[in-house]
Structures are given as structure tokens and as C-alpha cells.
Chains A and B, each alone.
Chain A
Amino acid sequence: MIREYKTIEEVAGPLMLVKQVENVKYDELGEIELPGGDIRRCRVLEVNGADVLVQLFDSPAGINIAQSKVRFTGHGIQLGVSEDMLGRVFSGMGEPIDGGPRILPDKTLDISGTPINPAARKYPSEFIQTGISAIDGLNTLVRGQKLPIFSASGLPHANLAAQIARQAKVISDSGADNAKFAVVFAAIGITFEEADFFISDFKKTGAIDRTVLFINLASDAAIERIETPRMALTAAEYLAFEKQMHVLVILTDITNYAEALREVSAARKEVPSRRGYPGYLYTDLATMYERAGRTKESDGSITLIPILTMPEDDKTHPIPDLTGYITEGQIILSRELHRKNITPPIDVLPSLSRLKDKGIGEGKTRDDHKNIMNQLFANYARGKEAKELMVVLGEAALTPTDRLYAEFADRFEEKYVNQGFHENRSIDRTLDIGWELLTIFPKSELKRIKPELIEKYWPYNDDGTPRRELAAR
């Protein structure tokens, strides 16, 4: 039997204290009925004797201590899931908001999830072709990876995420596997315009039919944002691990999520760690990000792309910092490249995909991939250094070799990184552009490429005529 309590003692910010309750459990979902009949939702944060401290998901406006009633549901926060969720739009708390009917749930799942046993994980190793050279060639994404985009205000991270969602496919198998592809998109406190950009992009490409959207806009209750990514991940887990689909989850913007978490933590007067964020921010983020992956029990996978904006473009800010420690690499966008009109403005040097080594090479992409990747990285890094030196000392102060590297850095940005948001390059094309760029160096400078690969793939003869056919697209 569900009991109702009229014993609200305190409401302060997102927190509420209810006295003299019985049999209420930690992390339980509660409902508050306002005098006007409005229902608000809350979650138990602490049980202390007969009192419980709850966190509200909506604004406390209108809660009347004397009149409002609280009841507890006997379970945690849940999401009803089914395959019919594809193509639908939900609120940040999982209610349909597209005017369609309610979902008839196939299953009702607790949104907090349970840890994946590392002995049951399957190591991600299938190459995903995003069609973006800076990612495919240098920071390769694989199925089941969690690869965040570190962006900053004013940078086109939304375009990049949409491009990935649009172009991502697996090349090793023929279509059949790609057909089981789905996108779960969670808007966490972003503006209407940004959310609309994604939705219309999904509509334009027809992707909307295989997309589940969870939308918490900037105007929605901030505290609700704490649950939005978990809703999305619960839906993704169902599709991936029960329906064997390959799910790409995009969470944007994690910075808003962390701020909501900070709001609750501050209201609870917890001892803060850096910049006022709670000490458990790492653990909290990890319990979300770690839900990505693959297991031995299922053919499906969850590939996770969280997007976050770095306050003041600062990578050492706690949110990008802790994210970087959990995720398997990061794609960093650069304001400098953006100003130079390089799109997508991916700063390849600090970007990283930790899982790339298992996803590239013979049988996955091409046998020269690893070598050429290392060579491009090293030469671009040296070229950037040479350019810095050039700024201080002038071009004349560089050795001829260094001048070559500086020129390479410019060409690399122009030809390799700068491809626009609509060009979809095959991996062969990406690798061959790399080869073409490297031809400005004498072969002896290419120490990171095995001589037999240079022999096999070098694009031109000594007289400048083509040695082999390069991939065109």
C-alpha cells in the first residue's frame, strides 16, 4: 500500500526534507502532489532515521509545505523501453513530447544501470568509417568506444556530431550490419536552436526514423538534466544489448549536466572539490560513460560521443579533465583552426583515440594505416614547432628541412583536415591524401614508415608520373 505524507518540513532550492516517513528506501522515486493537483517528481538522496532528504526534478515553485502531499513509489526511476521508441521524441524525464501515443513498454528498466563485468566485455575493435579524415586517419573511432568532443562556445561541434551521425558506417561488412544502426540523442540543457539543428538534420537525411531523442532544453528544469543522459543510455542499452543494434549515443552538453550536479551538491552543503564541483564528479561521469561498449552476450554495441564545452577553452577544467580520464580519447576542436576557416576545426595533435590501434591495419583498414598515421602526426607536430619558431625568428632562421616541415603543416591543415561538413571520404582516400602530402619530403625523412610500405604505396615515380592509382573519393 502506498502511503501519503503531509510532513514536508523544508524546501530549499532543489532539496526538500520530509519528516516521519516509514519504509522509504535510498534512491527511491517519489511524487509530490500540489494542492492544485499538479504532480512533481523527486528522488531520495538520504535516509536519516525517520526523515528523508529528496531532490526535486522540477522547480519548487508552488510547493506548499502545509498542503502538498508526498508519496513514494517503491522503486527507483524507471524507463519503459521498446523498439517503438525509434523515431520518437521524449522529454528529459522520458515522457513522450511529440504528441504521439505513450510507448507500450516491452520492459521497464531502472535507469541507473549496473556495472558491466570486465570479464564479459568484448574489446572494441571494429573500425567505424566516419568519412572525416582527421578522425578516420588519425584518431580512429571503433564500435563500442566512448570518444568525447571537447569543444568551446562558438565552435561548430554540433555540425561535427551531426556529420558523424550521418556518415558513420562499418565498411568490413556489407550493409546488413549497417541496417541495424540507431542513434540515441540526448539534449542536455542546450538551446532550442541547437536541438532544432540536430532534429532537422536527422529529418533531412531520413535518420530520424532510427533515432530516439531525449530533449531537455535550456528552458527546462535544470535538475531534470541529471536524469536525461541516464534515460538515453537506458534506451541505448536496451536497443544494443537486447535488440542487437549498433547504437550511436550523442550526449550534448555534458557541461550543463555537471553544472546541475554541482547545484544539487552545493544545496546539500557538501565539501566541494575543484571549482565547486562535487568530489564524486569523476565517479558520477564514469557510471554514465562506462555504459558504452560491447559484451560477449550480444552482437550490439554502444558507441558514445559526449559533447562538452570547455569553459574558457580550458582543457584542465574539471569537466573535460575528468572526462578525458574516463573516455577512450578525445576529439578537440580548435578556435585557431576555426578562425582560419578550416572545417571541421579538429586539432589533431591533442586529439586522441585510445582504441585506434586495435581498429586499424590489415584486414580492418589498410596495412599502411598505422605507419602513415604516426608519420603524419610526427611531421605535423614538427611543422607546427617550426612555424612557432618562424614567428619568433623569421623564416630565414629556419633550416631548409624545417622550412619543409612548416610548409607541410600548412598543407596538412588545408588538404587533410579541411574537408567541410559534407564531404564523405573513404578510408582509402584519407590514407592516400596522407601519402600525397608526404611526397614533399625525401623518403629518408619518413622514418616511421617501413621501407616496404613506402615501396608499395609511394604515389609518384621520380619523374613525377603516378606510380599507382590513388583513391578518388
Chain B
Amino acid sequence: MVTGKILKVSGPLVVAEGMRDANMFDVVRVGRQRLIGEIIEMHGDRASIQVYEETAGLGRGDEVVSTGAPLSVELGPGMVTNIFDGIQRPLAKIYESAGPNIPRGIDVPTLDREKKWEFTPAAKPGDKLVGGDIIGEVRETEIVTLKIMLPPNISGEIVDIKAGEFTVTEVIGHVKTDGGDIVDLTLMQKWPVRFARPYVEKLPPNELLVTGQRNVDALFPIAKGGTACIPGPFGSGKTVVQHQLAKWSAVDILIYVGCGERGNEMTDVLNEFPTLKDPRSGHSLMKRTVLIANTSDMPVAAREASIYTGITIAEFYRDMGYDVAIIADSTSRWAEALREMSGRLEEMPGEEGFPAYLTSRLAQFYERAGAVICRGSDRRTGSLSAIGAVSPQGGDLSEPVTQATLRIVKVFWGLDSALAYRRHFPAINWLRSYSLYKDRLEPWYLSNLGQDWIDRMAETLRILQIEAELDEIVKLVGIDALSSDDRLIMETARSIREDFLQQDSFDPEDSYCSLKKQYSLIKLILSFHDKAKAAVDAGADLEKVVTLPVREKIGRAKTLSNFETDYPAISAELDSELEALAAEAR
């Protein structure tokens, strides 16, 4: 074990000498309190170490001990429903043992070492397996079955394997590797966070990730295995959108990384998720969720690690053949952590003080997402979708983190503070946002929702686009200058904005909107447009058409639960009211 002595302390950066034999990216324990750190630079005998905990009280000569292993996470049963800090220490356990504040240097094993899990083998002695093959399973929660896989770097013949109750460290069997070694099998494996877990092959993402959010599913969809970002100034509802996606995305496992954000937000997730029901499984959302929290008052170096911790856990579940999503709020705080370390290392800064390698680090993170054929002989498929919030300074999208992110991700949900001031939520700006998955998803839409869905959504965007153009004219010369056709377009666009795009996250009925309901709703709104246009063309008074009582009902349609019966009723009412107007005109 390499032991060195501290030479320099500057915030989270510690330089130690006597470290010549340590490896780059080894985890070290620093000082008497055995704070956790990681070697990030070597200069001859000296190692620069980023320390994941507050460094107050460290001084020259304090001992630094290398553990000889890179920063790794423990992967095994007990992660789902749990909350970890940036370097995967279990926060609930720490609270039990240390009280409401997080002390320094606390040592609690990540996965519970006492808890027994019921293991059911799927492999038998004599089976010749390759890395990634499933050897059995553990029921982690009511809805998550944890597949116990042969670690990716091991292949060989099963010597023995036992069913029964085991802790994560107990041996459940042995495998004889191709090299002839006998290796213990446990429910838990370890993986270094900075290395992507291997897979056989990446697939193009071509299946819709249903989120239940109308803006997203209907206008700017994300595919399973895709990447997306949500930039927005503060107060534009970034966190609420993230929480909505976390709640309702149709994934088997969700990893939520609170990276440098508010403590109360994590508490909110902790309180709320257990009370919400997953629309697909009927069980609480918490039963498929893993939380990683590095709140903004926690040490900044661990913020850098939290993103990697999250995505490694996500990859682990993807490897089992699950659809996984990771939501990171906010990647800007992660970039700032990079900047802080870079500054302390006295590196030459790039834009706005961010290190020159910011873009490549971001790209590496998002590139770990994707739909893949997993390791293992059954060629199962899994997907990992990555969604990152960006907090641009001053809401200015030209800043480095936003720009670097936009070059990588395929979906851009641009939040707009002007919409937020008008209480138009989610404040996703429909003119600026885009999704590059639309074309790729077309076959999926065709076979699952039909051509009409594609046409209606294109029509919706077209009307919104025309509205933006007409709006310019109205601002210059007033609404009277518009033809009645254009007036009607403005009215329909308003209805689309208010009755379709706005979605109340806090309304139990409206929070999640199924694809079927989304389709019925937009059909209802657009049918008003077509029918009203016909009526006006036939001589009905425009002012009367746009103030029909039924429009109020259309406005409340999104909060109705029995849309299958209610919408046709509203539609019939619309017909009869327009008929009455037409009769009047005659």
C-alpha cells in the first residue's frame, strides 16, 4: 500500500509527496479522518488529489494512503429505492448512524451487508457461460427483478451454484474461468465509474420513450436510448419538468442524479415518489428509482463523481436488458465542479474559465447512453436514455456548457422564462425546441399510433408557427388587420397552447397523459378549427364562433379522466352549437 504525506492543501485539492507508486485515478484516504479522494494528476513523486469531502483541518505532513483501486461503485441488490451521495455512500444509513448532518470521513458500506436476499439460480453446474450471462435472479422490489450476471470480464464453466438466502458478499457459487482459475460468485460486483460497462453492439434508437408529457411525446419526442437536454434560466420550471419525466417515463429503472441542486428537491423526491403509482406497474414509483444526491452544500469534488456514479449504475441495469433512464439535474453544476478543480490545478482555461476538455467530458457522458445488445449469449437488448438539465448563467444559451451540450444531444427542450411568467407550464418553447428522433421514430409511430398521429402533430406545429408570424403583424398593426381565416388560426393556436401544451404537473388527472388521450385531445382541438372554418366560410359570425360555450369545455377537456366517452360528447356539442350558428346565419 502506497503511503505519502501531504505537501499542499488548497480547497478540495491536496498535493501529496511519496506517491510515485500509486496509480492514476486510484482512490486514496487522506488525513486522520480518512477522507476519500482520488488521484487526478501525477508529477514525479507528487500526486494531485481531489478530495470528496471538506478539507478543513488538513495540514502538511498528514498521511495519504492509496487503496490501489480506482473509484468504483458496488452493483447489487439494494440499490433501488435507496438514496446515495455522489460517491455512492448510503445517505439514509448515514442519517441513522450520524444524525441530520453529514460528518466527514464517515465509513458506511454502500450496500447493506446484513440483509439477506433470496437468490434463484438460472444456471446450473457445467454450464459454459460468457461474461454478462445471467446466472440467476433476485427480487429487488415488487417490480424490479435483479438479474445476477457473470461479471463482463469473466467467462468459464459454472462449478457450483446454490439457491437460498444470501447477503451481498456471501458466495453463491464458483466459476472456473477459461484460464483455469476458480472465481467466487456473489450477488454484488464492483465496477470503476470512469469506465463504460461493455456491451456487444449499439443499436439505433427507434422506439418512443413515452413520458406522458404532451409537449414531449407529441412534439419533441425522445427515443429509448436517446439523449436530451433541458436548458432554462432559473424559475422556468426546469426541475418540475425533470421531476415529471422522472415520474412518468416508461422505463424499468430510473436513476435521478441531483447534482449540485437544492437539498429540499431531493427530499421532495424522497417524499413524493413512494406515494405515486407507476401507471404501468401499479406500484409506487420509488420501487424502480435510484437517487444520487450531491446537493449544493455538499463538497464540490463529489459533484464531479456523482454523474459517473449515476451512469454506471444505469449501465448495470441496462446490461440486464432493461430500459433505463438517467436524469441529471444539473450538468452545469457538474461542469462548474470541473472548472473549480481545473482552476486549482492551474490549468490554462478555455471559455469562461471552463477547462478546455469540457466538451469531450460531456460527450463521453452522453455517449454512454444508447440502445444496445447486451453482453451475454442471449443477445438481449437494453436501453439507457440520458436527460440532462442545463442551468445557463443569466439564461444565456450561448454559454459554454449549453453550447457543448447542444452539439451532442439529439433533443432540445428549450425552456423560456417569458412563458413561465405567463404561467404557461411546462414552459417549453415550441418554436425553439427540436427533436432529431422524429424521423427515426416515424416507423414506430406508424405501427403504434398510425399516420393520423403524425399528420395531426405536424398540423399542430404548423399552426403554432403561423401564429408566431401573425403575432408579429398583430403587434404592428393590430388584430383587426387580420383576415377571418387568420383570426381563426390565432384562436386555434391559443387553444393549442392553453388546452394542449399547458399541462398541470400538480393536477392528479393532468400530470400524466396517455398517448391515446394526447391524440384524442389534439383531435378535438383541431376538429374545432376545421369545423369553425367551415362555419365561418358558410357565413357564421367569427366573434360568435370563437366565443361558443363549448370552447370552455374544450379548455377543461385535459382534466377529464373519461376522455373516451367525454370527448365525443364535447365534439357532438360543438357540432350542434355550430349548427345553431349556421342556422342563424341562414
Chain B residues lying within 8 Å of A397, measured Cβ to Cβ, are 477-480
B219 to chain A, nearest CB (A): 22
**Docked complex: A59-97 residues within 8 A CB-CB of B:** 76
Are B391 and A123 in contact, CB atoms less than 8 angstroms apart?
no
Q: Is the CB of A117 within 8 A of B91?
A: yes
CA distance A418 to B111 in the complex (A): 56
Contacting residue for B56 out of A26, A50, A382, CB 8 A: A26
Neighbouring A residues of B349 by C-beta, 8 Å: 271
B83 sits at the interface (CB 8 A): yes
Q: Mark B207-235, 1 if CB is under 8 A from A, else 0.
A: 00000000000000000000000000111
Q: A287 near B297 (CB under 8 angstroms)? A: yes
Chain A neighbourhood of B333, CB < 8 A: 282
Chain B residues within an 8 Å CB radius of A112: 54, 56
- Check if B100 sits within 8 Å of A296, measured CB to CB: yes
- B454 in contact (CB, < 8 A): no
Q: Which residues of B contact A50 (CB under 8 A)?
A: 60
Instruction: Verify if A461 is at the interface (C-beta below 8 Å from B).
Output: no
Which of these, A374, A392, A399, contacts B423 with CB under 8 Å? A374
Complexed CA–CA distance, A297 and B423 (Å): 36
The residues of B that contact A354 with a CB separation of less than 8 Å are 239
Does B102 have its Cβ within 8 Å of any Cβ on chain A?
Answer: yes
Asked if B57 CB lies within 8 Å of chain A CBs, one says yes
Bound CA–CA A317/B395 (angstroms): 10
Residue contact A118 to B267, C-beta cutoff 8 Å: yes
A352 to B237, CA, bound (A): 11
Min Cβ gap B476→A in Å is 8
Contact B95 A117 (CB under 8 A): yes
* Inter-subunit contact B83/A119 (CB<8 Å): yes
B275 cross-chain contacts in A, Cβ below 8 A: none
| Residue in contact with A26 in the complex, picked from B57, B339, B421, CB distance below 8 Å | B57
Interface stretch, picked from B277-285, B377-385, B444-452, B548-556, is B548-556
Bound Cα distance A287, B11 (Å): 14
**Distance A377 CA – B420 CA, assembled complex (angstroms):** 10
Question: Beta-carbon contacts of A285-307 to B below 8 Å, as 1s and 0s?
Answer: 01101110101111000000000
Could you tell me if A279 and B343 are in contact, using CB atoms closer than 8 angstroms? Answer: yes
Complex CA distance for A235 and B80, rounded to whole angstroms? 38
Q: Are B60 and A49 in contact (CB under 8 A)?
A: yes
* A280 and B340 contact, CB distance less than 8 A: yes
* Given A114-B102, A118-B270, A325-B391: A350 touches B58 (CB 8 Å cut-off): no
Query: What per-residue 1/0 map shows which CB atoms of A92-113 lie under 8 Å from chain B?
Result: 0000000000000000001011
CB of B10 within 8 A of CB of A116, answer no
Q: Which residues of B have CB within 8 Å of A329? A: 235
Asked whether A120 lies within 8 Å of B100 as measured between CB atoms, the reply is: yes
Is B343's CB under 8 angstroms from A286's CB? Answer: no
B478: chain A residues at CB < 8 Å are: 389, 393, 397-398
Q: With a CB–CB cut-off of 8 A, which chain A residues contact B92? A: 119
In the complex, whether A243 has a CB less than 8 A from a CB of chain B is no
B5-25 Cβ-contact flags toward A at 8 Å (1 or 0): 011111100000000000000
> Which residues, 347 to 393 on B, are CB-close (under 8 Å) to A?
349, 352-353, 391, 393
Contact with A381, one of B58, B98, B423 (Cβ below 8 angstroms): B423
Is B262 engaged at the interface, CB distance under 8 Å to the other chain? Answer: yes
A270 interface residue per 8 A CB criterion: yes
- Would you call A290 and B262 a contact (CB within 8 A)? yes
For A286, what are the chain B residues with a Cβ–Cβ distance below 8 Å?
260, 296-297
Q: In whole Å, how far is A358's beta carbon from the nearest beta carbon of chain B?
A: 8
Contact yes or no, B268 A47, CB < 8 A:
no
Query: Does B498 interact with chain A (Cβ within 8 Å)?
Result: yes
How far apart are the CA atoms of A117 and B260 in the complex, in Å? 13
Assess whether A49 is in contact with B394, with CB atoms less than 8 Å apart. Answer: no
Binary per-residue interface labels of chain B (92-108) against chain A in the complex, 1 for a CB within 8 Å, 0 otherwise: 10110011111110000
Given A283-B296, A328-B264, A447-B555 in contact, is the A49-B8 Cβ separation under 8 Å?
yes
Q: What mask results when residues 364 to 394 of chain A are scored 1 for a CB within 8 Å of chain B, else 0?
A: 0000001000100110011000000100110
Q: A274 CA to B392 CA in the complex, in Å?
A: 12
Q: Shortest beta-carbon distance, B98 to chain A, in Å?
A: 8
Cα(A45)–Cα(B234), bound, Å: 32
Any chain B CB within 8 A of the CB of A189? no
What separation, in Å, do the CA atoms of A45 and B101 have in the docked complex? 24
Scoring B6, B298, B299, B549 by chain A CB atoms within 10 A of each residue's CB, the highest score goes to B298
Number of cross-chain contacts by CB at 8 Å? 221
Cβ of B568 within 8 Å of any chain A Cβ, yes or no, is no
Complex Cα distance A374/B424, Å? Answer: 10
In the complex, which residue of chain B has the Cβ closest to the Cβ of A388?
A: B475
B252 close to A (CB within 8 Å): no
B422 at the interface (CB under 8 A from A): yes
A24-49 contacts to B (CB < 8 Å): 24-28, 45-49
Q: A286-B297, A290-B297, A293-B263 are in contact. Are A25 and B95 (CB under 8 A)?
A: no
Q: Is A316 among interface residues, defined by CB-CB distance under 8 A?
A: yes
Binary interface encoding of chain B residues 221-262 relative to chain A, with 1 for a CB under 8 A from any of its CBs, else 0: 000000000000111000100000000000000000010101
Q: Which of B8, B352, B391, B477 contacts A274 (CB 8 A)?
A: B352
Cβ of A355 under 8 Å from chain B: yes
Considering the complex, give the chain A residue whose CB is closest to the CB of B344: A270
A236 to chain B, nearest CB (A): 14
What is the bound-complex CA distance between A24 and B101, given in angstroms?
26
Query: In the assembly, what is the distance between CA of A393 and CA of B94, in Å?
Result: 63
The complex places the Cα of A24 from the Cα of B57 at a distance, in Å, of: 8
Instruction: Determine if B262 and A26 form an interchain contact, defined as CB atoms under 8 angstroms apart.
Output: no
**A122 beta carbon closer than 8 Å to chain B:** yes
Among candidates B55, B91, B299, B498, residue contacting A118 with C-beta atoms closer than 8 Å = B91
Q: Does B293 contact A (CB under 8 A)?
A: yes
Bound Cα distance A46, B6 (Å): 12
Smallest CB separation, A89 vs chain B (Å): 28
Among A112, A271, A389, the most chain B Cβ lie within 10 Å of the Cβ of: A271
Asked if A118 contacts B423 (CB within 8 A), the reply is no
Q: Does B336 touch A at the CB level, under 8 Å?
A: yes
Contact A24 B59, beta carbon cutoff 8 Å: yes
Q: Taking CB as reference atom, which chain B residue is nearest A22?
A: B60
Within 8 Å CB of A120, what residues of B? 95, 99-101
Q: Which residues of A contact B547 (CB under 8 A)?
A: 444
Select one of B55, B56, B102, B477 contacting A117, CB under 8 A.
Answer: B102
Chain A residues positioned under 8 Å from B57 (CB to CB): 25-28, 76
Given contact pairs A280-B300, A392-B475, A447-B555, A115 touches B101 in the complex (Cβ within 8 A): yes
Most chain B CB atoms below 10 A, which of A25, A322, A381: A25
Q: A428 CA to B105 CA in the complex, in Å?
A: 50
How far, in whole Å, are A47 and B270 apart by their CA atoms in the complex? 40
* Residues of B contacting A287 in the complex (Cβ-Cβ under 8 angstroms): 296-297
Looking at B296, B333, B475, the one whose CB has the most chain A CB atoms below 10 A away is: B296
What residues of chain A lie closer than 8 Å to B61, measured between beta carbons?
23
Are B235 and A324 touching (Cβ within 8 A)?
Answer: yes
* Cβ-neighbour of B295 out of A290, A316, A399 (below 8 A): A290
Complex Cα gap A283–B304 (Å): 13
**A434 within 8 Å of B by Cβ?**
no
In the complex, which residue of chain B has the Cβ closest to the Cβ of A451? B556
Check: A456 CB closer than 8 A to any chain B CB. no
Shortest CB distance A54–B (Å): 13
Asked if A272 is at the interface (CB within 8 A of a chain B CB), the reply is yes
When A and B form their complex, which 7 residue pairs have the shortest distance between CB atoms, in order from nearest?
Answer: A316-B394, A286-B296, A397-B478, A27-B56, A290-B297, A324-B234, A120-B100
Given contacts A24-B59, A27-B57, 20 further A-B pairs with CB under 8 A are A25-B58, A26-B10, A28-B57, A47-B8, A117-B100, A273-B339, A282-B260, A283-B300, A286-B296, A289-B296, A315-B394, A316-B233, A316-B395, A324-B233, A326-B262, A350-B235, A377-B423, A381-B423, A392-B476, A447-B498
Sample of 9 A–B contacts (CB below 8 Å): A47-B10, A114-B104, A121-B267, A123-B267, A279-B340, A282-B336, A283-B260, A291-B297, A330-B235
Chain A positions within 8 Å of B, measured between CB atoms, are: 22-28, 45-50, 76, 110, 112-124, 144, 241, 270-274, 279-280, 282-283, 286-287, 289-291, 293, 295-298, 315-318, 321-322, 324-326, 328-330, 349-350, 352, 354-355, 357, 370, 374, 377-378, 381-382, 389, 392-393, 397-399, 444, 447
